[in-house]
A and B are shown apart, each in its own frame.
Chain A
Amino acid sequence: MSEIKFTDQHEWVRVDGDVATIGITDYAQEQLGDVVYVELPEVGREVAKGDEAAVVESVKAASEVYAPISGEVVEVNGDLEATPAGVNEDALGRGWFVKIKVKDAAELGTLMDKTAYDTFVAELE
């Protein structure tokens, strides 16, 4: 399992072989508040880096989740349908959104590591 990487849009990515698991960060879930609904893409869909990959809804508003890398959606987290609160409870674990088959590993190179992301978030507050 490779290290976790982050985008400046508050998504995280973890790569295992050629499959990347994606979710939103703990900072993002805290800013969002209680998650009540998650809209996930269809398995088989092709996403390009920066495309809207999912939608996460709090009581008050809907927010887009962007694909940090390009590839084909190979799995989505069905547990989030019944338990959207999983995103709040364990954003980096159980709260994962989609798994994408990595098309171009070089895209990961432009993402932040944990230290860089933590610094980035600290500057936002």
Chain B
Amino acid sequence: MALAEPTTPDTPLKRTPLHALHLELRGKMVPFAGYEMPVQFPKGVLGEHLHTREKAGLFDVSHMGQAFLAGPDHETTAHALEALVPGDITGLKPGQMRYTLLLNEQGGIRDDLMVTRAAGDGQDGRLFLVVNAACKDADFAHIEALLPPGVELRRADDRALLALQGPSAVAVLTRLASAAGDLDFMTMAEIELCGAPCLVSRSGYTGEDGFEISVPAADAETLARALLAFDEVEPIGLGARDSLRLEAGLCLYGHDIDETTTPVEAALTWSIAKRRRAEANFPGADKILDQIANGAPRKRVGLKPEGRAPAREGAEIVDADGRTVGSVTSGGFGPTVGGPVAMGYVDRDHAGVGSEVTLMVRGKGRPAGIVPLPFVTKRFHRKK
């Protein structure tokens, strides 16, 4: 059988602060976005995925790009970022986080990112950004080039990023710091963990309750070991990170969204704040507002293949007459769903939930239904 042979990259791969720990835990290391990352641990992708939804999984996502925007006050810094994204950034309350998109002039997506208004003394005017690993250099250069005088971008390459996700995450983290339990979904606070000053947010990429923890690189291993010492916590690789987010219906940049997809086509219209639509003051506004008013030519949808055969990225989607109406952008096996799941773009006339389509897999047509996303119920922490 054809096994993927490891290739030596032209430039040496970067390593995260947890590299030695990954090797100790017998992580299977693969190249990803220029980094050597664990795709799985001995438990395996299936086991790691199921464990995360059942108890708690610890992910090293230090390859992602962290940075601070710093200006004289919140209004100024937020306004500067709003020139590049369609979200409501000025309206963020201290500690509040938002998912938003860096757009290009054609209304396409340069990257998706999390933006948080820093809370705490002396933090006014600071925004904390987390962007995708593969895009971080381009994103930060893009942002920096367009900042007005008085607002600076400061990369936080000296920080690691860990994600603790799953129904047991809050029980685990509150053993290290009770304040973690007080965080509402999509809020962040400065919390000391194992003696290290961390930025802890109640957020994640799995559809489960959980936290993302920005920690100084020098303290990352101590924190990771402390979390892994708890019975409920297992180390999780990028393989399960992908199957978890796919079941949760979340986009992966470079696959489900890219420079050619608008937020409307991507079913991310909700991320374009009402005020911003009225102001029409973000890149690609004309095209995006037109699509909001008149519909987009295609739509990102959930796909549920019948039977057990997965349909993968690139598979053509055809209609009953065999005409191509779209393509799969993410697809694989959903361990919690217990079967294949996929996402893709479909021409507007064929994109209705409940419609049947055919996915071309190895030259054979396989029936699939267009289904609502997510595939598994999201279990984010809600205020009581």
Q: Contact residues of A with B, CB < 8 Å?
A: 9-11, 24, 28, 31-34, 36-37, 39, 55-66, 81
- Find chain B residues with CB under 8 A from A10 CB: 1, 3
> Are A58's CB and B45's CB within 8 A?
yes
Number of residues of chain B lying within 8 A (CB) of chain A: 23
State A65–B362 Cα separation when bound (angstroms). 14
Q: Which of B69-77, B273-281, B305-313 contacts A (4 or more CB under 8 A)?
A: B305-313
Instruction: Specify which chain A residues have a CB less than 8 angstroms from the CB of B1 in the assembled complex.
Output: 9-11, 24, 28, 56, 63-66
Q: Is the interface of A mostly helix, strand, loop or mixed?
A: strand
- In the assembled complex, how far is the CB of residue B169 from the closest CB belonging to chain A, in whole angstroms? 22
Give the Cβ gap from B242 to chain A, nearest Cβ, in Å. Answer: 7
When chains A and B are docked, how far (Å) is the Cα of A24 from the Cα of B3?
11
State whether B3 touches A55 (Cβ < 8 A): no
B residues 267-308 touching A (CB-CB < 8 Å): 308
Q: Are B2 and A57 in contact (CB under 8 A)?
A: no
When the two chains form the complex, which single residue of B308, B309, B332, B362 contacts A59, counting CB atoms closer than 8 Å? B332
Q: For chain B, what secondary structure do more than half of its interface residues adopt (helix, strand, loop), or is it mixed?
A: mixed
Whether B333 contacts A36 by the Cβ 8 Å rule is yes
- Highest count of chain B CB atoms <10 Å: which of A24, A34, A37, A81: A34
Across the interface, name the chain A residue whose C-beta is closest to B49: A59
**In the docked arrangement, what's the CA distance between A62 and B45, Å?**
15
Please name 6 pairs of A and B residues whose Cβ atoms are closer than 8 Å in the assembled complex, sorted by A. A36-B46, A37-B308, A57-B309, A59-B46, A59-B243, A59-B332
- The residue that B3 contacts in the complex, of A28, A36, A57, A60, with Cβ under 8 A, is A28
B239, A60: Cβ atoms closer than 8 Å = yes
Nearest-Cβ distance from residue B341 to partner chain A, whole angstroms? 11
Instruction: Report, nearest first, the 4 A-B pairs whose CB atoms are least far apart.
Output: A34-B46, A36-B333, A59-B45, A65-B1
Please give 9 more A-B residue pairs, beta carbons under 8 A apart, in addition to A9-B2, A10-B1, A34-B44.
A24-B1, A34-B47, A36-B46, A59-B49, A59-B335, A60-B242, A63-B2, A64-B1, A81-B308
Q: How far is the CA of A39 from the CA of B79 in the complex (A)?
A: 54
From residue B86, how far is it (CB to closest CB) to chain A in Å?
33
The answer to whether B203 has its CB under 8 Å from any CB of chain A is no
Check A60 against B45 for contact (C-beta < 8 Å). yes
B292-350 at interface with A (beta carbon < 8 Å) = 308-310, 312, 332-333, 335, 340
Is B40's beta carbon under 8 Å from chain A?
Answer: yes
CB distance A59 to B239 under 8 Å? yes
Is there an interface contact between B310 and A36, defined as CB atoms closer than 8 Å?
A: yes
Per-position 1/0 for B57-97, Cβ under 8 A of A: 00000000000000000000000000000000000000000
Interface residues of B in 330-384 (CB under 8 A from A): 332-333, 335, 340, 362
Q: Which B residues are CB-close (under 8 A) to A31?
A: 3
Cα distance A11–B46 when bound, in Å?
24
Cβ contacts under 8 Å, A32 to chain B: 3
Q: Which residues of B contact A37 (CB under 8 A)?
A: 308-310, 333, 340
In the complex, are the beta carbons of B45 and A64 less than 8 A apart? no
Q: How far apart sit A34 and B333, CA to CA, in the bound complex (Å)?
A: 11
Q: A62 contacts which chain B residues (CB < 8 A)?
A: 310, 312, 362
For the complex formed, measure the closest distance between the CB of A51 and the CB atoms of chain B, giving whole angstroms.
13
Which residues of chain B come closer than 8 Å to A59, judged between CB atoms?
45-46, 49, 239, 243, 332-333, 335
Across the interface, name the chain B residue whose C-beta is closest to A63: B1
Contacts of B47 in A (CB 8 A): 34
Query: Could you tell me the distance between the alpha carbons of A55 and B362 in the complex, rounded to whole angstroms?
Result: 10
Chain B residues within 8 Å of A36, by CB = 46, 308, 310, 333
CB–CB A64/B333 < 8 A = no
Contacts of A39 in B (CB 8 A): 309, 362
Name the B residues within 8 Å of A63 (CB-CB). 1-3
Query: Smallest distance from the beta carbon of A99 to chain B beta carbons, Å?
Result: 17
* Complexed CA–CA distance, A62 and B243 (Å): 15
CB closest chain-A residue, reference B332:
A59
Contact with A along B32-57 (1 / 0, CB 8 A): 00000001100011110100000000
